[in-house]
Structure 1
């Protein structure tokens, strides 16, 4: 059931947090045929070193952000750190968006060939998801798989898949991983599953793809913590974004898949300073309030697009969470501004 996707239907988004983008050489055989959007972190002063001969590549900087959306919007939305990627999402005009962190490289198969994560993401997005009834053999649409005995025939057509959450090897995605010093993830599970309806998930932007036409406006995080300029809190932003997009998918009847494809993540993980900042519990305490809010959220039936869902969600965030902490009120403002910009850039004249 895998749908063939044309190359001009795909954008690759990469947030440039460092000057040297030499890692793109390892991705060349997999992504050079697509349009690549590179967004430079506004706080990065040095110029970018990009390997030559990528035929379709666009680079955006702080000056472009200020010219396109204005300094006030830029101040509110804070496209910095790994959240720089959201600006790439805003600019993308293609249906499918694949986002890869700059510290990731392709995994290799037994013959040393890079594994094509773009193809796997597209397979996830173009085959149905099954959020309404769990299939105990995971993705029934994967090659060699099927629905298990007892799976309702009326639900076997599935629903549209809006988001594909890939995983990675090496740096584990644990809380305060300094407590597990030296721990590395070397276990690849060759499986894809649909996250059940009504269940939240800790989304990560390290290796993710989505159908922009279905859910694009929901892929944004308005929650920015105080002190973000010193130590970035992309994890908290990812988690907020993940809960937003899951509520929207559940409301609109879309699915989210998690699992394959994997990438290899480099580096040594978070520094001790970053971990200590995380353990101040600022972000954790906010999320402890936010999780039950999202778990019980019900959007009005009048919200029939992702844009409308985020606008309604922002109202609820302001009304129900804004009193608990000013960070939530600011998040509501950012979500509304994001939708305004999205509409201004994507509404057909």
Structure 2
């Protein structure tokens, strides 16, 4: 399947609706209210910023406002019935639920519903019995179909193109913010429709901050330069980190870098269907710990990517759930030493029944930038 064939509204929606309805039946729910915009996009293909979705065994109804009247019809086709509300989506929701026969027990997404909206359920929607749900749609989203995988691969290619154009411009005296601006310009030129998160550019001692924001610090010779960023296409994200040295690396920098790179390679290669998130995390963590830097690796190994840059599954010390075939995860071990600097190397990895396939191809060897 070509990338062009999967860039528009998702083709696998009927199967997703069937799977979601099966999940409702297992949960003994008559309907599900979907408020997460990412989940709504997954189920219907709609990418607008204001929507509610109601799903029952027979009906799938999307409510949005006038701004999206044309867009919603183009994006969702026959995936759902559309209601354009002129005043308030919640008013339209009560009216819509009132027309649905045999709907009493309605699930809501407890991770995504604002408290003010929960109050609406209890007050204005009191005639229905509301049941909290967790990760009903997210569990389905964790396993990518061929179209989703192709879009993530395209997002990876965009990100790597942008990075290849940015790295030659790194030099002493340029600020982190300027580097981020150059990178993001090249992301746009490569076709990225957005940025999945604010691009991280952290240099020198600031590279020890795992989620540093690009600041006004100017790059200096001898710095680690950590760049963590991604691209987005048709809603699907990539997430990549590479760490460079501006000038010649010291022995200490090279040692730390080599440990992180080896942890990355070991963890990426060890992924298997059925492996728990805890076991995957341990592959990298145990190696880093054995080399004497265990306390300097404080975050989890990785996370799923897709319509959101952080989604299921998680690769972390506390996650006992097994990895399924078809997941796409990040592998991002790191070592961070306050006042000295840090290294992170992050790849996007597809896990099939046959084993892992690393989607990112940008070299992992230490780049010493002259």
Scaled by the length of structure 1, what TM-score is found? Answer: 0.24
Greater gyration radius: 2
* TM, length-normalised to structure 2: 0.23
